[in-house]
Structure 1
Amino acid sequence: MTGRVPSATASAFVLLISLAFATTAIYRPGVFDRLSTHGSPVPPKVREACLLAALKGRDDPACEVLGRAADQDLRLGTLLCFATLVLLTGLQYWFGPAWRIRRRRLRPVAGEVHDELARMAQEVLGGRRVVFLLDVLNPAVAGLAFGRAGRSYVVISRGTWMLYERDRPLFRAVVLHELAHVRNRDLGITAVTLAMWRSYAAVILVPGLLAAVIGVLSGHAPFLRPLEMPFGSSVVLSWLFAAQIIGLAVLSWLTRSAVLQSRELMADARVLSWQEDATPLRRLFEDAPAPRRWPVSLRVRTHPHLAVRRAALDEPGPLVRQGFVFPVALGGCFSLTMDPAASFTALGRTNTLPWPAEVFALLLAVVLGLRALRAVEAPSDAVHVPLGLAVGLAGGWLLAPSRMTDHALAPFPVSVQLAGLVLLAVAGLLLGVWVRWVARVWAPRVRDLRSALAPLLLIAAVVTLTARTFYRVQSDIIIAHVQDYPAVSDPLAHVLISAQITLDSRLSTGALLLVAVVLLMLVPMAVRFTTLGEPRPPAPRRTGRVALAVGSAAAAALITVLVSGTVNAYVFQRAGTTLSDHLAVGAAFAAALAAVAAGLSRTSPVAKGMLAGLAGAVVHALVLELVVLPLRTALPWTIHMLILERMLEAALIAGLATALLTRLLPVRGEPAAAAAVPVAKTPG
């Protein structure tokens, strides 16, 4: 799979772009808003009354007039901040190579060594021009490739230059690695990545941290106008913003490292495609000095650990797997990208630039799909990717600057906020499991980028169609706390009720639910059953599978009845108990069937559990229409769709939980040997 789909370097670069521009859509230093139009201030008490009236659905013409008078046009400030980021990035990218040459006093390589370098470049690059430079001041064995469009430079250190006479294979390994960067066309991506990260730090992170410190000292939270914020500002909000800025710095550092480290592994793989003998590279990694523990070497963060690079020389796992850090960065960037479009602050703002959330969601979904297709042969990603997305989605939403302004606009309990983050984490976990499943069933069909378009389009369609609606649930939680259920004491129940109402309103019409079933289940399963080639070997036999299936079915049915009863008591408090009972019984029936199917299945337990739940929904509908209810009181179509939706939800959760429990059982006998899958070592 490594040579079939594009390199991971370009896909990782999308993360940094989305992070930089999404943050500035909500927060930017106040200097950029100096030229924006400021409205007339409104007394805090009046603004508080108007805000609460709007949340409770009451229209007040006086509040509408005051809102227009106090509105602030933020479009010019946003454009100025965007333009500053682009300008600083462009200047560093264009003039960076010349500045690096002058600062490090690099000089052209001459003589016999230059002739050898030119010959090697002609051998592996063809007619592409490369300028070779010598770093006289660096005695270590090192190399560096940098440049911009039309100009590529390869630097060898004084230690590498001395290897030309003492150890020619090691000299060749160092130079070929740097030439591999030129061949992989990652010099431009590297230059823009470093330039954008520096610009983001200078324009957003450093001023943000200074604003937070000033807020702590002055007692007023940054970028909140005290006269217009109904609940004022405080030192606590300043501390919160400081923590968010530090978290954004860590997240941006992780995305930067994801880009730069992936390019190093791809360059090593390119060298192996030019010369099959990995001995020189292995010697290079073994002879390299151990990285410093303290202080942390910044260059180590741009390169994978030497143990990882050594392992990648023998097997493709380190080259293709995503690991844990990349899904965390992707999930964090995704939540930050959706913040300017779906947060409570964004929904309450006017005169702002329309934020293309779906465009960024589409790009990030394609990145997620590409990485999943490349890493389909990495077993460790079965755990790392779902957990990473769970942490990333929740962490990114927590780091978004809107969390502070949301709390200032409509403060609600911290326990409810944390429960909302749990909802995001569960969504990330399910997304990671589903995307990996789609990648696994499609992997035998993928030969190149064209054949990978179908799974990529499926993943992009599901993510893009659901992202805005799902993230709006976080705003619905705030509104529900003020408007609908202030008496709900359990924060998790409060969040579940808000999410369930959103799902019911979207899926009870029937069309969207059928589309979701087709996209999420039927299309991947159809591909799985029609894929040519060797079938996937079944999982090893495990003891206690029947007992687990029966026990899980009973537990799933009981838990589903309890949870469904709690949620339905608020959702259908005016509709009587009949519909609530039908929903609870149907969900419990589907959960029990899914648990049995997942517990007894040795392959695709979650998918088979969902199919069992879908079959149970059909049976449940027939029983309701033909046995339970008289003909004159037949349920309408929307009610059947509502019951089907609840049954599929319960089947998904029960099937997933049972499948995870089966992994904890002891294995009976020897596990089935996995078929060896040949993997090309040429980079994508």
Structure 2
Amino acid sequence: DAHGTLDVELAALHERTGIRSALRFRVDPARMTSGAAVYGRTGSYTVCLHAGLLARRGTDPEGFRAVVLHELAHVHHRDVDYAYASTALWRVFVLLALLPTLAMDAWITVLALSGTDSPWWPDAATVIFASAGSGLLLAGLVHLARADLLRRRELHADVQAVEWGADPAKWDRPEPPGNASVVPLLYRLTAPLRTHPGWAERRRVLVDTGRLSRISPLEMFLTGASAALLTSSLGTLNFLGEGSTSLWLAVALVAPVICLVLGAPIIRARRTPVGRTGSGAVAGLWLGCGLLVGEWVESGRYRVDWFMPQPQYLLAFLFIAAVPTVWWSQTLRLCLGLPRRMQRRAAAVLCAAVTAAVLWSGLWWGELGGRRIALGGG
């Protein structure tokens, strides 16, 4: 920055965003790409500009400003904190849960194959494989949740950058050459595994920002799987006692998430002239699919066969999830139509409590009889 113009422009962009956190700009001369990255800690962040981005500034100043504003939007939304937290949780899960479980399963398998006599072998092999499979499935769910979080933060940063004055035409870029060689169907199927959205998805969101407020099937699926896995995990804690205490705790954590995720689009749609939202049935079915997968994984601890004797009874979880979601989606509209604010709030709290109670009753049926019936015991 021999002439000092870069520093002046970056300061102007920083002032335009109104970010109050301490912010520094650095340049990575080894990176020839026209991108940037942001890192740091809460209250103190650093935006690292790639050398290729500085070269782009001379030929495409609007593109340069769009990239910088996108990174500043990450700072504004505290996406660095979200990214660090999700990455830390992922690494803790892999190091302290997944790898020890797989190592233990491998050691038991080695002992069994080395000639150790056991009346439980080879039938117990199914239990070992089920344990390893459930760990890998949980790893996939955790990665899906982390990737979905980071991908949505990128889309929110794009929208914020455009609101600050970035040119939307700068998002009209082709996919990287490596993506073009991938089979289109395979590329679409692997999209949920990537932490960055494609340029086509980014352009669609900029054209219709309402996409960010719509219910994501993946989010509902992960919420359902979390509810089922959380219920079983809490049930292993002895200090909670016997009964439905662990189930109540799981519902108390999951039900507010469901109410917020389903309620936010309804409230936003009410503020627009022609805003409409669905009944919540599709979201409920995706929630039920998550419950079904989580229940199937947890039931693997109690059997030595690959499939349950009567797995069709697990389909009841689709109904268990759809009923409270449809109830909440429909009654919230009635609540919003009440004349007074206090009435709306009281009615919404009451309907949320009913939603939690209905969800609890369905999951409690699964604990008392659903799992036993599916296992062939009734």
What's the TM-score, normalizing by structure 1?
0.46
Partner in structure 1 of residue 42 of structure 2: 149
Cα shift readout 1:500-549 (whole Å, capped 9, x = no counterpart): xxxxxxxxxxxxxxxxxxxxxxxxxxxxxxxxxxxxxxxxxxxxxxxxxx
Partner in structure 1 of residue 302 of structure 2: 406
Gaps (5+ residues) in structure 1?
A: 1-107, 221-225, 482-490, 499-684
**Is the Cα–Cα contact under 8 Å of residues 325 and 355 in structure 2 kept in the other structure?**
no
Match status 1:282 vs 2:206? no
Structure 2: how far apart are the matches of 1:478 and 1:127? 54
Letter in 2 for 1:302: T
Cα shift readout 1:52-102 (whole Å, capped 9, x = no counterpart): xxxxxxxxxxxxxxxxxxxxxxxxxxxxxxxxxxxxxxxxxxxxxxxxxxx
Indicate which of 140, 151, 167 corresponds to 1:250. 140
Letter in 1 for 2:147: S
Say if 1:370 and 1:352 are closer, same or farther in 2 by CA, change over 3 A: closer
Cα shift readout 1:203-224 (whole Å, capped 9, x = no counterpart): 112222233333444449xxxx
Structure 2: how far apart are the matches of 1:269 and 1:176? 10
Letter in 2 for 1:139: M
- The DSSP-based 3-state class of the residue aligned with 2:130 is helix
**Is the Cα–Cα contact under 8 Å of residues 175 and 198 in structure 2 kept in the other structure?**
no
**Is the Cα–Cα contact under 8 Å of residues 321 and 381 in structure 1 kept in the other structure?**
no
Say if 1:475 and 1:288 are closer, same or farther in 2 by CA, change over 3 A: closer
Indicate which of 366, 369, 372 corresponds to 1:477. 369
Structure 2: how far apart are the matches of 1:430 and 1:472? 15
Per-residue deviation at 1:287?
A: 4.5
**Is the Cα–Cα contact under 8 Å of residues 320 and 375 in structure 1 kept in the other structure?**
yes
Partner in structure 2 of residue 270 of structure 1: 160
Per-residue deviation at 1:472?
A: 3.4
Per-residue deviation at 1:251?
A: 0.7
Say if 1:360 and 1:478 are closer, same or farther in 2 by CA, change over 3 A: closer
Structure 2: how far apart are the matches of 1:461 and 1:157? 51
Match status 1:415 vs 2:330? no
Per-residue deviation at 1:311?
A: 1.0
**Is the Cα–Cα contact under 8 Å of residues 279 and 330 in structure 2 kept in the other structure?**
no
Structure 1: how far apart are the matches of 2:260 and 2:367? 31
Structure 2: how far apart are the matches of 1:319 and 1:478? 36
Match status 1:392 vs 2:290? yes
Partner in structure 1 of residue 125 of structure 2: 235
Partner in structure 2 of residue 462 of structure 1: 354
Identity %: 22
- The DSSP-based 3-state class of the residue aligned with 2:26 is strand
Structure 2: how far apart are the matches of 1:305 and 1:440? 35
Say if 1:300 and 1:477 are closer, same or farther in 2 by CA, change over 3 A: closer
Letter in 1 for 2:49: I
**Is the Cα–Cα contact under 8 Å of residues 372 and 436 in structure 1 kept in the other structure?**
yes
Letter in 2 for 1:172: R
Partner in structure 2 of residue 308 of structure 1: 201
Partner in structure 2 of residue 361 of structure 1: 251
Larger-Rg structure: 1
Cα shift readout 1:322-381 (whole Å, capped 9, x = no counterpart): 222111111111111111345xxx4xx846789765444333222222221233357578
The 5-angstrom pairing of residues 554-633 of structure 1 reads: none
The 5-angstrom pairing of residues 92-131 of structure 1 reads: 111-131=4-24
Gaps (5+ residues) in structure 2?
A: 270-275
Cα shift readout 1:373-400 (whole Å, capped 9, x = no counterpart): 2333575785641231121111122223
Say if 1:112 and 1:381 are closer, same or farther in 2 by CA, change over 3 A: farther
Say if 1:122 and 1:214 are closer, same or farther in 2 by CA, change over 3 A: same
Structure 1: how far apart are the matches of 2:107 and 2:324? 40
Per-residue deviation at 1:110?
A: 10
Kindly tell me the number of residue pairs found equivalent between the two proteins: 357
**Is the Cα–Cα contact under 8 Å of residues 215 and 235 in structure 1 kept in the other structure?**
no
Structure 1: how far apart are the matches of 2:124 and 2:208? 55
Say if 1:174 and 1:147 are closer, same or farther in 2 by CA, change over 3 A: same
* Residues 352-361 or 156-165, more deviating: 352-361
Cα shift readout 1:124-151 (whole Å, capped 9, x = no counterpart): 1254321112222222222222222222
**Is the Cα–Cα contact under 8 Å of residues 322 and 371 in structure 1 kept in the other structure?**
yes
Structure 1: how far apart are the matches of 2:198 and 2:173? 12
**Cα RMSD, aligned residues only:** 4.0
- The DSSP-based 3-state class of the residue aligned with 2:173 is helix
Say if 1:396 and 1:208 are closer, same or farther in 2 by CA, change over 3 A: same
- The DSSP-based 3-state class of the residue aligned with 1:414 is coil
Per-residue deviation at 1:271?
A: 1.9
Structure 1: how far apart are the matches of 2:343 and 2:169? 35
Say if 1:199 and 1:304 are closer, same or farther in 2 by CA, change over 3 A: same
Indicate which of 27, 30, 34 corresponds to 1:134. 27
**Is the Cα–Cα contact under 8 Å of residues 143 and 193 in structure 2 kept in the other structure?**
no
**Is the Cα–Cα contact under 8 Å of residues 171 and 203 in structure 2 kept in the other structure?**
no
